[in-house]
Amino acid sequence: MKLNIERVYIVLKVEEKKTVNLYTLVDAENGDKIVSIGVKEADVKELDLVNATITFKSENERINTGEGVKYVEVLNTFVAKVSKVKK
């Protein structure tokens, strides 16, 4: 299952990696915090107010244990779009 959520966030931290950025975002409306990798965006800095689309993807993964096979549900997140809020 795949779900996209678009909301306004405050950027707490941006860590640049080789091909993606690691974002720490706080929901501007309710204060919920999320840490996720995402697309590189050069003009987004700490404490900016941004529109972001976060993709949540749920998958079943098969894990081979010594006692047999188990299936677990894994939730992955990715910041698919991020841009500054226009003032």
Q: Give alpha helix (H) positions in 1-87.
A: none
Q: What is the dihedral of CA 61, 34, 52, 57, to 10 degrees?
A: 10
CATH code, residues 2-84: 2.40.50.140
Q: Which residues lie closer than 8 Å to 56 by C-beta, 6 or more apart?
A: 2, 3, 4, 5, 75, 76, 77
pLDDT in tens, 45-73: 999 999 999 999 999 999 998 899 999 99
pLDDT: which is higher, 8 or 42 = 8
d(C-alpha 28, C-alpha 58), whole Å: 25
pTM of the model: 0.85
Spell out the domain ranges in the chain: 2-84
Contact 13, 23 (CB under 8 A): yes
